[in-house]
Structure 1
Amino acid sequence: MAPWWAARGAPDLGRRSRPDPPDPRTSPAMHEYRTHRCADLRADDVDSTVRVAGWMGVVRDHGGLVFVDLRDQSGVVQVVLPEHDDAIHALVRGLGRESVVSVTGTVVARPEGTRNDNLATGDVEVAATSIDVLGRATQVLPFELGTTANVREETRLRHRFLDLRTERLQRNLALRAAVIQRIRARMVANDFLEVQTPILTGSSPEGARDYLVPSRRYPGHFYALPQAPQQFKQLLMVGGVERYFQIAPCFRDEDGRADRSPGEFYQLDLEMAFATQEDVFAVVEDVMDDVFGAFSDRERTPTPYPRLTYAEAMLRYGTDKPDLRNPLVISDLTDVFAATDFRAFAGKVVRAIRIPGGAAQGRSWFDKMTDFATERGASGLAWLKVEDTSAPTGPIAKFLDEAAVAGMVEGAGLEAGDAIVFLADEAAHTAATLAGIVRAELGVRLELLEPDVYRFCWIVDFPMYEWDDERETWDFSHNPFSMPQGGAEALDGDDPGAVVAYQYDIVCNGYELTSGAVRNHDPELMLKAFAVAGYGPEVVEEKFPALYHAFQFGAPPHAGAAPGLDRILMLLADEVLIRDVIAFPMTNGGQDLLMGAPGEVAPQQLRDLHLALDLPKPTD
């Protein structure tokens, strides 16, 4: 039997994958600390003299018969103290919870009726003959390790070394290790070469804020931690490494959220020379299907994954990260309301969501949904009940004539007994986004999400550019190194917003798991693409000197992607917060409470780096 923390599909890191421990009955001397791990012991070890070591958990005193739960990474074994050994009893009573001890004793079968089927070692216990204290716990635990659900996250992160002892995080760390091992094996089997790229590099505009590292040897100059190995992996393609991958750390100075760790994260970074978008899809689908199949019993979307264009996703789901477990679909009813007298929708883009069976909901339910929508930025939420498809009822029914009702019923696919909600805004993107937020909330409130499944899809054909209100110009919407569909001719049009790129994401259950693109490997086309976004040749040569220079020595067509390892693990572990699949995460505010980072440094360190602080003045 595999230990409790071994992930499904993971190598069994317990007894069977380790060398057999020395037999204490024949060995000249026992190991100083242990002969077995706690969860290794089984019924066939009965009558063996063993030594186990670990952390003392619960101590149960049953009127002179004292039991101790002893735990190491493999699991738990019960230790029973000798009834009449006052010295051992006094020693155990004097120890704090979570003290580290080594126990020598004999493996015995548990008495009839006391077996514990919840433990791998539930058939046996260790009758202690001696106990050695290896690490005394002198502090009171800040929280109970078995019940951390209601513990403040700041407390858990400040004492992460204790949090890591819990079964849940031990299991998640084992899962993480096993997933990485399997990904590596799969990539090697697909003829990819693992290459490590630099951590200290130059700053470049790639969409997020850099973490900067001042140089001591070159005053006034800075390294940057890579937001991704983007340029290096493209340089590897130029260098003749045709299939590259690594489990890459990435660093971005951005705020955290439930599905994004602030500061740093890990991704499976891959790039392929002489490859099309379809080649990348085949490799990434193979890896994703293999990993999710190995580590979960849940149903998953079969390969090849369905594809949605960015435009389709925004129209039907109001987001480029649609959760396809939710059956609700958004409809565009702008034309229907353009011909009505409903002034609130006049001149606006109108999005609607059909709610099957929604006519059964009461007025207060719709009022609560309206409150939700307005709290998220909508000007309001209109709604109708459709007990009869020819005569809907509700606050805006009086504004709809027979033609509008027919258009609404057809456009949204309404049936008798349904309800429909509407959102409107002057901007199409805002209307779509608001409708997507409401769609997601409806799926949760109505319990419509398909349970215990992984629903994958590709989002393709992202727009190359988007309007930047702050700069009042066009800028890259996704990745500046992407190939525009249609090549140079596509960049000659009057509307940069109409340019579509070979950019793609994998989405699963509402989370973006993979992002990638076919790369622009032509230096002249690269200059032209950056010019549309307002960057002159001098900017390209200054910010991307290696890439621009290398492309002039013959660059193969290439494409790649970067599945996010932490998000994959969050889904496989069924965790809500990404921090629970990371050994030492930061808070949402980017603080490491365990190590006290970021922190102040000594004045001498600043002088060595030729830096002076210009701190903001405190406000009243």
Structure 2
Amino acid sequence: MHAYRTHNCAQLTKENVGETVRLSGWVHRVRDHGGILFIDLRDTYGVTQVLCDPDSPVFAEVEKVRSEWCIRIDGTVKARDPELVNPKLPTGEVEVFVRDIEILGSAGELPLMVFGDQEYPEETRLKYRYLDLRRDVMQTNMKMRSDVVRSMRERMWNNGFREFQTPIITASSPEGARDFLVPSRLHPGKFYALPQAPQQFKQLIMVSGYDKYFQIAPCFRDEDPRADRSPTDFYQLDMEMSFATQQDIFDTISPVLAGVFEEFGGGKKVDNPAEWPQISYRDAALWYGSDKPDLRNPIKMQVVSEHFAGSGFAIFSKLLEQEGTEIRAIPAPKGGSRKFCDRMNAFAQKEGLPGMGYIFWRDQGEGMEAAGPLAKNIGPERTEAIRQQLGLGVGDAAFFLGGKPKAFESVAGKARNVIGEELGLTDQDRFAFAWIVDFPIYEKDEETGDIDFEHNPFSMPQGGMDALMGDPLEVKGYQYDLACNGYELVSGAIRNHKPEIMVKAFELAGYGEEEVKNRFGALFNAFHYGAPPHGGCAAGIDRIVMLLAEQSNIREVMMFPMNQRAEDLMMNAPSAPLNEQLRELSLRVIPQED
């Protein structure tokens, strides 16, 4: 007989009745029914009920076990009485009478219970992550994560891609976040960096002639944490293709992700990837207030400035006299009650705005009436024009925000999401994907007037060199994101593979040719030796699994995440280095002033 088990805790059925078996696992819970001890024995595969009564030669030993002790038992498989069968368990028709037991690992008083669904502070869960990971929901999440990665790999191999690994210790590269720097012992005063992404390496793989690359890549960014982003490291499905257009990238990665969501999405609807809409960055900001819109919500915002220009509502009419301002409306079908409108107005105030103007339409018996302070101020003619533009009717409402779009777009986007949720307009049984395209490459600093990159600096500008000869703020890149249910899942671009365009693109952002050569020398030099047109993207695995597992916090689908302060409470990281380590690296820690 095997030293630890003949079966796992999900295998035994009525076919095994009468057999002597050996099981190993953890004590999920112990129940004492009038001198008969019942133990739910758990391993990663499932649960088997074992029992022991005073007739067992090891009854006294079994009495000692407690929750989360790791034990091995030998026993005889028995059929449960029909009225005691548990249909929820694969092993629910049988139980095992214990004839021998070995304590493999005892457990002290538990800081958190594995059995049950009690809530514990996140700090406790992360400090004792090895216990937290034993819980049913975490076991399910981590198995799903593993299965999703396997599925992605298989789908990429089936599409003719090969997996190549890129370095973990490399040079610093601007990817939109802070690097984690690693001091060099052999080169005092110099530092490596952990890669924010394999960006330059995967482009060099294309220049090297390998055509199709993918990798389940670890990425490291020193970022401020939030619910859908890790503050230190994450994994992505990274891919790159040579001789590929933007549409080729879409046609390649979309079926891969659609297949994953169909396989693990619990039956939720996934639209045909060939029908995923392509929405420009500017339209996404206008219609949804976000470059990662939730299209399960059908609400589209619209510009209604003309109806308020010169109107009796002085706040908006005077606002429109300023350059670059506009008024946008958020339609709210079925939201036509003063109570709901007041609630949304309070929401805007919590977001730091003075409030949101609103109009709602109600039936007054002899016809429809527009109500609310805005309706009184602008009059029936303008109000009716707004209603017709928005396609609203009795029982509906509209909310209004004004100013320079960048100042209110994010709040408008949040308001749109809240309205969709509260009015039941958002389809909860669907994964809604959309490609966001035509990102601007440059942006202007409002304070200094300087031009800098708004998005990925390695993107090919639409129009090539000619586009760079005009207004930089009008230059769009072959850059794209894939949004799903309000989250960005994929980001990518067709790359700038021509050195002269690369130099000009960086020049517009204030980087001279020498700086480009110094910071991106490998790419710059490689592009002089027959670089093919190429492009690709990266899909965030943690965020994808978070959506599939119906979790709202990314730490629920990561095995050993950091907390909100980028601390590993279990491993006590970050920690202070030893003086010998600092001397070896020629480093000195300067104490922070209070």
Q: Could you say what the CA RMSD is over the residues aligned between the two structures, in angstroms?
A: 1.5
Q: Which residue number corresponds to residue 87 of structure 2?
A: 117
The structural deviation recorded for 1:446 is 2.3
Between the two proteins, the alignment pairs up a number of residues equal to 583
The structural deviation recorded for 1:88 is 2.5
Q: Which residue number corresponds to residue 379 of structure 2?
A: 401
Q: 2:272 aligns with which of 290, 298, 302?
A: 302
Could you tell me how far apart the structure 2 residues matched to 1:534 and 1:56 are?
64
Q: Is the 8 A contact 1:350 1:431 kept in 2?
A: no
Q: Which residue number corresponds to residue 22 of structure 1?
A: none
Q: Which residue number corresponds to residue 263 of structure 1?
A: 232
Q: Which residue number corresponds to residue 236 of structure 1?
A: 205
Q: Secondary structure at the match of 1:392?
A: strand
1:215-364 superposed matches below 5 A: 215-296=184-265, 297-304=267-274, 305-345=276-316, 346=318, 347=320, 348-359=325-336, 361-363=337-339
The structural deviation recorded for 1:394 is 0.9
Q: Secondary structure at the match of 2:10?
A: helix
The structural deviation recorded for 1:217 is 0.8
Q: Is the 8 A contact 2:213 2:241 kept in 1?
A: yes
Q: Is the 8 A contact 2:22 2:75 kept in 1?
A: yes
1:160-175 superposed matches below 5 A: 160-175=129-144
Letter aligned with residue 95 of structure 2 = E
Q: Which residue number corresponds to residue 532 of structure 2?
A: 556
Q: Is the 8 A contact 2:30 2:66 kept in 1?
A: no
Letter aligned with residue 499 of structure 1 = V
Q: Which residue number corresponds to residue 372 of structure 1?
A: 347
Letter aligned with residue 377 of structure 1 = G
Structure 1 residues 471 and 608 mapped into 2: Cα distance closer, same or farther (>3 Å)?
A: farther
Letter aligned with residue 266 of structure 1 = Y
Q: Is the 8 A contact 1:179 1:291 kept in 2?
A: yes
Could you tell me how far apart the structure 1 residues matched to 2:118 and 2:282 are?
40
Structure 1's unaligned 5+ residue stretches are: 1-29
Could you tell me how far apart the structure 2 residues matched to 1:115 and 1:390 are?
62
Q: Which residue number corresponds to residue 70 of structure 2?
A: 100
Letter aligned with residue 21 of structure 2 = V
Could you tell me how far apart the structure 1 residues matched to 2:87 and 2:222 are?
48
The structural deviation recorded for 1:336 is 1.6
Question: Are 2:404 and 1:435 aligned?
Answer: no
The structural deviation recorded for 1:357 is 2.2
Structure 1 residues 607 and 270 mapped into 2: Cα distance closer, same or farther (>3 Å)?
A: same
- Tell me the alpha carbon deviations over residues 81-125 of structure 1, each in whole angstroms, 9 at most, x when there is no partner: 13323x623222323321111000111111221101111100111
Q: Is the 8 A contact 2:197 2:220 kept in 1?
A: yes
Q: Which residue number corresponds to residue 110 of structure 2?
A: 141
Q: 1:594 aligns with which of 566, 570, 576?
A: 570
Q: Which residue number corresponds to residue 513 of structure 2?
A: 537
Could you tell me how far apart the structure 1 residues matched to 2:474 and 2:76 are?
76
Could you tell me how far apart the structure 1 residues matched to 2:49 and 2:334 are?
55
Q: Is the 8 A contact 2:221 2:233 kept in 1?
A: yes
Q: Is the 8 A contact 2:494 2:536 kept in 1?
A: yes
Q: Secondary structure at the match of 1:396?
A: helix
In the superposition, the TM-score normalised over structure 1's length comes to 0.92
Q: 1:516 aligns with which of 487, 492, 511?
A: 492
Could you tell me how far apart the structure 1 residues matched to 2:379 and 2:47 are?
71
- Tell me the alpha carbon deviations over residues 150-183 of structure 1, each in whole angstroms, 9 at most, x when there is no partner: 2111111111000111111111111111111111
Q: Is the 8 A contact 1:506 1:513 kept in 2?
A: yes
Q: Secondary structure at the match of 1:147?
A: coil
Could you tell me how far apart the structure 1 residues matched to 2:192 and 2:7 are?
48
Question: Are 2:12 and 1:35 aligned?
Answer: no
Q: Which residue number corresponds to residue 527 of structure 1?
A: 503
Structure 2's unaligned 5+ residue stretches are: none
The structural deviation recorded for 1:259 is 1.1
Could you tell me how far apart the structure 1 residues matched to 2:101 and 2:386 are?
77
Letter aligned with residue 26 of structure 2 = W
Q: Which residue number corresponds to residue 444 of structure 1?
A: 421
Q: Is the 8 A contact 1:332 1:411 kept in 2?
A: no
The structural deviation recorded for 1:301 is 1.5
Letter aligned with residue 142 of structure 2 = L
The structural deviation recorded for 1:340 is 1.0
Question: Are 2:544 and 1:573 aligned?
Answer: no
Q: 2:18 aligns with which of 28, 43, 47?
A: 47
The structural deviation recorded for 1:390 is 6.9
Letter aligned with residue 450 of structure 1 = D
Q: Is the 8 A contact 1:215 1:223 kept in 2?
A: yes
Q: Secondary structure at the match of 2:428?
A: coil
Letter aligned with residue 60 of structure 2 = A
In the superposition, the TM-score normalised over structure 2's length comes to 0.96
Could you tell me how far apart the structure 1 residues matched to 2:115 and 2:445 are?
49
The structural deviation recorded for 1:470 is 6.1
- Tell me the alpha carbon deviations over residues 336-377 of structure 1, each in whole angstroms, 9 at most, x when there is no partner: 211313221122421111111222x234x3233222112213
